[in-house]
Copies of this chain bind each other. A is one copy, B any other.
Amino acid sequence: MFKFLQQKVNDTISVSEEEFDYAKTLFLPKKLRKRRFILEEGEPCIYTTFVEKGLLRSYTIDEKGNEHILQFALEGWWSGDLYSFLTGEPSEYNIEALEDSELLLITKESWDQLLREVPAFERYFRILIQNNLIATQRRLMGTFSTTAEERYQKMLKEFPDVIQRVPLHMIASYLGVTRETLSRIRSQIASGS
C-alpha cells in the first residue's frame, strides 16, 4: 500500500526504513469513487493527498460558472489546496476523482509533525514544491507567449497519459480555452499540418 509513496520519496531524498515506518503511521488510506469529491469549494482543505492509484483534478469555478482546472493528479502525484491547507481558510478549489482512486491522506497536524520530526521530509516537500513552482511558472509564461494550439501540442508530448484518460472539455479547461476551441484545434491538426 505504501510501496509507491516510499519509492517516490526515495527517488528524491533518502529516508531510512525507520523514518518511513514512522511516516506511514501519519497517513490515512482512502478510496474515492469516480465523480466523488475530496474537497469542495467553501470548506477548508483538511488533507494533502498522495495519489496511489487513479486520477484527481482540482479546479475553481468563476463568477460566470466556468471551470478552470489547476491540476490533474495521476498516480504518484500530490494534490490539495496548499493555501487552505496551511491557513485553514475556506478553499476556492474543488478536488474530484475522475476515476476510482486510492489515496493517502495526511492532515496539517500530522504533516507539521512529520516535517518537524523527520527533516528529510522537510527537504522532500521543499523539492516537491520547488518543482511544482518551476512547472507553474512555465505554464504561466506559456499562456502569455503561445497559442492554444501550441499549448495543446506541448501537453500532448508532456502528458500523453492525461490526454488519454481525461475528457476533452477538461483538457480545454486546463489549457485555458473553451471546449469548442479545442475541438476545432483538434480537427485542424487531424486534417492539415
Check B136 against A137 for contact (C-beta < 8 Å). Answer: yes
Check A82 against B176 for contact (C-beta < 8 Å). Answer: no
**Assuming A122-B122, A176-B143, is B62 touching A134 (CB within 8 A)?**
no
Dominant secondary structure of chain A at its interface with chain B: helix
Check A60 against B145 for contact (C-beta < 8 Å). Answer: yes
Check A70 against B122 for contact (C-beta < 8 Å). Answer: no
Shortest A17–chain B CB gap in Å is: 22
Which residues of the other chain, B, contact A115 by a CB distance below 8 angstroms? 123
* Number of identical protomers: 2
The 8 A CB mask of A47-70 against B (1 = contact, 0 = none) is 000000000000010100010101
Q: Count A-side interface residues using an 8 Å CB cutoff.
A: 29
With most chain B CB atoms within 10 A of its CB, the pick from A70, A82, A134, A146 is A134
Interface residues of A (CB under 8 A from B): 60, 62, 66, 68, 70, 82-83, 86, 115, 119, 122-123, 125-126, 129-130, 132-134, 136-137, 139-141, 143-146, 176
16 contacts between A and B (CB under 8 A): A60-B141, A62-B145, A68-B141, A82-B130, A82-B133, A82-B134, A122-B122, A122-B123, A122-B126, A129-B129, A132-B133, A133-B133, A136-B136, A136-B140, A140-B143, A143-B176
